[in-house]
Copies of this chain bind each other. A is one copy, B any other.
Amino acid sequence: MIKLNGVYPPLPTSFTEDEDLFLSRYEENIQKLCNYDLAGILVLGSNGEMVMLSNVEKKKVYDTARKAIPGGKLMIAGTGAQSTRETISLSVMAYDSGADAVLVLNPSYYKGQMNSEVLVRFYHDVADNSPAPVIIYNMPANSGLDMDADTILRASQHHNIIGIKDSGGNLVKMATVIKNAKPGFQVFAGSASFLLPALSIGAVGGILALANIAPELCLNIYNSFYEGKHESAKEYQLAAVELNTAVTRQWGVPALKAAMDYLGFYGGPVRKPLLPISDEIRKQLIELIERTLEQ
């Protein structure tokens, strides 16, 4: 089973002013980020505005990413869709582009029917047909559906399902999964705001929006924990929460892209209906970046 341990940024997808793909900028972002000791890149996650892209665009992004990500770094590709057939089709496509693993968000539109049986069957159907190993993706703040520990555990029994990114922040659920899953099942914190708590109970890394703009801070939490420097780990963790909240739950992808622009990456526009952050919020965001990074 492929070992995924480490920190990954879920890279935003670069757009031109007309909201078209801007692949050269995307490539440059990958190159810059890969100078840090990150384990790899998540391509087309929630921060990658995956739900905004056509499948033709997705293929281009997968291909571009794979070319830009240097050997030794992993490419994880988001491939979840509302139907099983489209999820499989995207997983094959991502594998063909060279993805090392696929991150599969649960379908959620028919919430009332998405019981444990349906979700487990979905993950097993995808895992049966995906040439790349599958990572489960639980993202209740966006999908509106929070998979419970039992569903995750049942889904995880498939040999081709190797881990989970859990962005829900429920540490009790995470502990239940870690305690009861098969040996080697790899749990990732889905947000920098709870990376240290997740590591403390056995998570093996994080896929963290904050790693796009503050990779060193994220790596400091991760490395301090493994070096047994728990006071430092705590200080880094507490330093990370406010900025992470700003570019995720509070102001979202538009703020994450604005922060990237400020820090020398290419952020650029979001796709509508998302709107750019206001000047007032940009000012607050920049103050927060400065305050966080000088700590």
Contact = CB atoms under 8 A, between A and B. Distances in A.
Interface stretch (A63-71, A130-138, A190-198, A258-266): A190-198
A194 B172 contact: yes
A258 to B, nearest CB: 13
A134 B145 CA distance: 29
Contacts of A241: 172, 175-176, 179
Chain A contact patch, size range? 35 or more
A198 B52 CA distance: 35
List the number of copies, as a whole number: 4
Contacts of A172: 169, 191, 193-194, 241, 245
A125 interface: yes
A12 interface: no
Contacts of A253: 110, 113
A145 B142 contact: no
12 contacts: A46-B109, A52-B83, A52-B86, A109-B142, A110-B142, A113-B254, A172-B191, A172-B193, A175-B237, A196-B197, A197-B200, A200-B230
